[in-house]
Amino acid sequence: MSKTTTARAALDVAEVDPATIGRDELRALQLRRLQWTVRHAYENVPFYRATFEAAGVAPDDIRTLDDVRLLPFTTKDDLRSTYPFGMFAVPMSEVRRIHASSGTTGRPTVVGYTQGDLDRWADLVGRSLRAAGVAAGWKVHNAYGYGLFTGGLGAHAGIERIGATVIPMSGGQTARQVQLIHDFEPDAIMCTPSYLLTIADAIEAAGLDPRGTSLKVAILGAEPWTNELRAEIERRLGLDAVDIYGLSEVMGPGVASESVVTKDGPHVWEDHFLPETIDGETGEPVADGEHGELVFTSLTKEAFPVIRYRTRDLTRLLPGRAYPALRRIEKITGRDDDMIILRGVNLFPTQIEELVLGIETLTPHFVLELRRAGRLDTLTVRIERHPALDRDVCEAAAKVLQQRIKTHIGTTVDVVLAEPAELPRSEGKYKRVYDYR
């Protein structure tokens, strides 16, 4: 009988306290879990075995955390190429749930969860909710979409896990959302930041005061949003707004989440996900504190381990604060594919959002339209005028915005006023950019 020479450690899933764990203890835990994950992926997913072999790396080569850099990256295209279930690392009989990304073009990416994965996901969303100040006994209105999208069901399980009461409203039916918020008096709401603006408008349209609801905290994510939008949402609704980050390929909501005390960017739940930042062009690692593309390796996932998954999300890693051993990510600037290159100048929709919200006489309702005029690309910011202000005041505000974009971003755009309620309203992830080129 042959014996394996290396001891094969089982997945160690003991819960740790993210607030008190020390950095060394965390790193030791990460290494054990990384070694387990790499072996698990290598032995059970033909795709990973092939890419590891092509890179000349074997599970036994992972001796330190930095050795993660020996492993090849995984991209969304890789996940698509094994559609639908080729990346699953356990037999289908052990898969309790499947989710899929919306996939605006081409095949969706499909992800799977074992019972253990679902348990840990609920724990991590629960942890995220506690970081947001949500407590057992609270009522939480969940307006993330239910279904294949991970937002609704992911948030749902975490709310139940901490002993709070979930109101499983899902997205859309905005008038009904307003009614239930009024009648059920939830303490917290979970939805996209853009959808919360839609809800705030609808509360007002119903003749109610958005600051007068029972809501104390909003846990917002699934799309980029700025600290300026946070301030606007907190002012309009009279609550604390915190950021929750995640992506279906890595788990769903709750990969990283923000503390309501420090509101300084989501802490990565590093005992379950190893973050790196890289230069998106060269693939070389960038130092903590430097801007780059966020990359994740899962540390405890059974059905769908991901190895150095390139998120395309741009941010930087910062030292932990509310959870000192865990690094934070700065609020995401955007995805690299959201970047607009306008006559040689790179810009992100979040940069425009920051400038829009810095002008009180503008509304936060705007879209970006790209066109080609001859050989030149043009960008129009179409923004709803303020319903309560004179047209002259709004025109002047539009001019100020155009000037600030020129000064701060360095490019000339058109700013065109739209009528109140003319632009599409968000019901989930907001489509901000329309490319007519």
Among the listed residues 210, 224, 305, 320, the single contact to ligand DLL using CB under 6 A: 224
Return d(Cα 252, Cα 296) in angstroms, integer: 13
Q: Output phi, psi for 2, to 5 deg.
A: -90, 145
The answer to whether 246 contacts ligand DLL (rule: CB under 6 A) is yes
Task: Examine residue 293 and tell whether it contacts ligand DLL (CB under 6 A).
Answer: no
Phi, psi angles (nearest 5°) of residue 378: -125, 150
From 88-96, 146-154, 272-280, 302-310, give the range in contact with ligand DLL by CB under 6 A: 146-154
Among 144, 269, 296, 366, binds ligand DLL (CB under 6 A): 144
Separation of alpha carbons 111 and 248, rounded Å: 7
333 binds ligand DLL (CB under 6 A): no
Q: Which amino acid is at 243?
A: D
Helices first, then strands: H and E counts in the chain: 10, 21
Tokens matching residue 37:
């994950």
- DSSP-derived letter for residue 55 is H
Count residues near ligand DLL (CB under 6 A): 21
Binding mask 100-129 for ligand DLL (x = CB under 6 A): -x----------------------------
Of positions 112, 126, 158, 253, contacts ligand DLL by CB under 6 A: 253
Q: Using the rule CB under 6 A, is 304 a contact of ligand DLL?
A: no
Our CA angle for 240, 246, 251, nearest 5°, is 135
Applying CB under 6 A, which of residues 30, 142, 150, 174 lies at the interface with ligand DLL?
Answer: 150
34-53 footprint of ligand DLL as x/- string (CB under 6 A): --------------------
Reduced to 3 states (helix: H, G, I; strand: E, B; else coil), residue 289 is coil
Strand pairing report for 267-268 and 273-278:
unpaired
In contact, 365 and 383? CB cutoff 8 Å: yes
Q: Among 200, 244, 303, 306, which residue interacts with ligand DLL (rule: CB under 6 A)?
A: 244
Which residue lies nearer to ligand DLL by CB, 83 or 396? 83
Distance CA 120, CA 13 (A): 9
Query: Shortest Cβ distance from residue 53 to ligand DLL (Å)?
Result: 29
Q: Which listed range, 35-43, 147-155, 208-216, 316-324, lies at the site for ligand DLL (CB under 6 A)?
A: 147-155
∠ CA 88-89-94 to the nearest 5 degrees? 85
Per-residue tokens: 331:
């609020």
Residues that bind ligand DLL (CB under 6 A): 101, 144, 149-151, 221-224, 243-248, 252-253, 311, 313, 332, 335
